[in-house]
A and B are shown apart, each in its own frame.
Chain A
Amino acid sequence: MIALVVDDSRSMRSILARILTQLGAQVSQAGDGKSALALLEVGPLPDIALVDWHMPIMDGLQFVSAVRRRPEWRPMAIMMVSTESDQHHIVQALAAGANEYIMKPFTKDAVQEKLELLGIAVMNIQTKGNQGES
């Protein structure tokens, strides 16, 4: 699995990247929507992008719309990762072309379950001090 994490907070990118790595992903990162688009232009196309909502330069919603305008990027799943938890935000993100939505804060299990919902194969790589539950 190849994953792209788009968040202006380095600490949040670090949390997500760590979780995704434990789930067997190769992870690239971007600090806003615009630099994430630049990464997509270079390729390869990730299986999934995890995208924050509020970011400077280009926010998550604008990023989702921009991605969905490009047919060749359609196979990439998009999951919004946001502190926004109002229903109308969730509906808006799905309408723009996001496939899933996760609210901050979240746990590793929650990320894993969402990936499974999207049919993305995960490998639970156990690391010391971080035993997955049965």
Chain B
Amino acid sequence: MTEVLIPSDATIVEIAQEVWSSILEDAGELTSVFGFDEKHETAVLAFIEITGNWHGSVRISCSVQAAKHIAAGMFGKSEIDVEDDELSDAVGEFTNIIGGNIKALFPSPCNLSLPGVAGIGSFADNLPPGLEDKISEVQVVEVHLEWEGEPLSIGLWENK
């Protein structure tokens, strides 16, 4: 595989903000933060795989509240009415769009898998269902963002 430039944190943040503001109209801002004070135990995890000239995955974790907010914005309903399957569909599509835009940073050809939503947990503790075979991947980028105090992290994991 040829040597590929890993995207900068700033580029990933820019992509996340662009996706956020265009799919969630008037949803308030997603801001970049240095890290989170405490571990958010109950997080929604989603991932999408990139193969080709770069091989790895884009992994997104966010609080349940942030996930509900994404789903509410996409389905055009209030957060309280969001069903579980809508939550996982919305976070999956959010991950798909972010993943597609990150994929575009790598030299083509690269392919994108369908997104997977791994449910609740933490990437750091153990690999959630669907990601067990990605044990050898190492994290190369991690950005932390916040929407009204609710955390959302995006990681790039490379299959070396």
Contacts and interface: CB of A to CB of B under 8 A. Distances in A.
Interface of A: 8-12, 14-15, 18, 54, 56, 82-86, 88, 104-108, 129-130
B138 interface: no
Contacts of A104: 96-97, 100
Interface in B33-91: 71, 74-76, 86, 89-90
Interface residues of B, number: 26
Interface of B: 18-19, 22-23, 25-26, 71, 74-76, 86, 89-90, 92-93, 96-97, 99-101, 103-104, 108-109, 112, 114
A83 B112 contact: yes
A74 B92 CA distance: 33
Contacts, number: 61
A105 B86 contact: no
Contact of A85 (B22, B74, B104): B104
Most A Cβ at <10 Å: residue of B18, B19, B76, B93: B93
B76 A18 contact: yes
A9 B93 contact: yes
Given A9-B89, A105-B22, A14 B100 contact: no
B19 A105 contact: yes
Contact of B108 (A14, A83, A88, A130): A88
B100 A84 contact: yes
Contact of A11 (B18, B19, B89, B100): B89
